[in-house]
Structure 1
Amino acid sequence: MPDFLAAARRHLDDGDFLHQHSRMPNAVQLWAYGAECTLKALAFKQHRFTFDANGRPTNNFAQHLNEIPKETKRNPNPLDLLSLYNAAQTGTNGLMGPQTAFEGWSIKDRYEDGSQLQTKIDDYKSDAAFFRNMLNSAMLPEGL
């Protein structure tokens, strides 16, 4: 079974390490995976999904941060993972991710030279910090 909490922390920490060593494109990739795992860790803690027989999250939470699932009869209004998570939040304890988080990032960037990520490094670093704070706040014992 996936451990999204551990994966989120590992990816965010490794992204920070790579950033400190001027490995910007790889830092962005890991920060984005960390954000994705953060959303999944929080959604799982909030009982927004379960795992299917293959260990994949249900309710469209298996998708990557930038993906939009194909329309189906069950899901006529597809949402990317961030929108899906934000839409699931209700009440005063809801934790909302920023609407423009990791804008311009794609999982497909792992096949590129990284130059397309260079211009937004500060934005991506800020996004990563936001998700780290979101994760830390929600995972406290008195959190959600």
Structure 2
Amino acid sequence: MIARVPTTSAEHHFAHAAERHYWDAVLLHDNGRLCNADHHFGFAVECALKSLLLRFTSAVTLNPKKEGKPGSKRPWYLDPATGKPRDLGHLPWVAADLALLARGRSATRTAAALGGLSAFDAWSVEERYRDGTAVAAQDVAARRTVAHAIITVHQQALINGGLL
């Protein structure tokens, strides 16, 4: 069950999109629709991570940027190395982006859940435009396992009100 937040918030939309994409992916995977299952597992993880980053870190925001496209609704943070805004787009993200979550008391548990994200290193949103021959059954199975772990962390964080 997803915790109540204003239904107009990005956090609300990302949380519900994560659940929707995950369960669609499970249904597709269970019915042998590997290409589309793979696509939805990636989006489920991406949405859950964005929900967590927006809810439980002060680094990520949807506020307007001083530079870049005005009115962009993509989550971003100020890169400490460059001092410039960095968008959180589609998976795979670099480890530095995800390290924002793994801080404080929740670091060990969060890092363990995020440790499997290497399963998405070769995942690409661009696969939606391709013929599907690059999608392997064992990769989709691994991504399903990781997506389940991330969705579980996401659900628990929403219930607990934090990454405990």
Q: TM-score range by the shorter chain?
A: 0.7 to 0.9
- How far apart are the structure 1 equivalents of 2:96 and 2:18? 18
Alignment-mate amino acid for residue 149 of structure 2: F
Which of 121, 125, 142 is the equivalent residue of 2:140?
A: 121
- How far apart are the structure 2 equivalents of 1:6 and 1:56? 17
2:20 matches 1:10:
yes
Give the equivalent residue in structure 1 for 2:75: 57
2:99 matches 1:86:
yes
- Comparing 102-111 with 51-60, greater Cα deviation is found at 51-60
Change (3 A) 1:50 1:42: same
How many residues are matched?
131
2:38 matches 1:19:
no
| CA-CA distance at 1:81 after TM superposition | 5.1
2:150 matches 1:131:
yes
CA-atom RMSD, angstroms? 2.0
Gaps of 5+ in 2: 1-8, 65-70, 78-85
The answer to whether the 8 Å contact 1:49/1:58 transfers is yes
Structure with more strand by fraction: 2
The answer to whether the 8 Å contact 1:50/1:57 transfers is yes
Q: Which runs of 4+ in 1 moved over 4 A?
A: none
SS at structure 1 position matched to 2:119: coil
1:34-53 aligned within 5 A = 34-46=44-56, 47-53=58-64
Gaps of 5+ in 1: 67-79
TM-score normalised according to structure 2 size: 0.70
Structure with more helix by fraction: 2
The answer to whether the 8 Å contact 1:8/1:33 transfers is yes
TM-score normalised according to structure 1 size: 0.79
- How far apart are the structure 1 equivalents of 2:156 and 2:140? 24
The answer to whether the 8 Å contact 1:61/1:81 transfers is no
Change (3 A) 1:82 1:138: farther
Give the equivalent residue in structure 1 for 2:83: none
Give the equivalent residue in structure 2 for 1:110: 128
The answer to whether the 8 Å contact 1:4/1:38 transfers is yes
The answer to whether the 8 Å contact 1:49/1:61 transfers is no
Give the equivalent residue in structure 1 for 2:4: none
- How far apart are the structure 1 equivalents of 2:21 and 2:160? 22
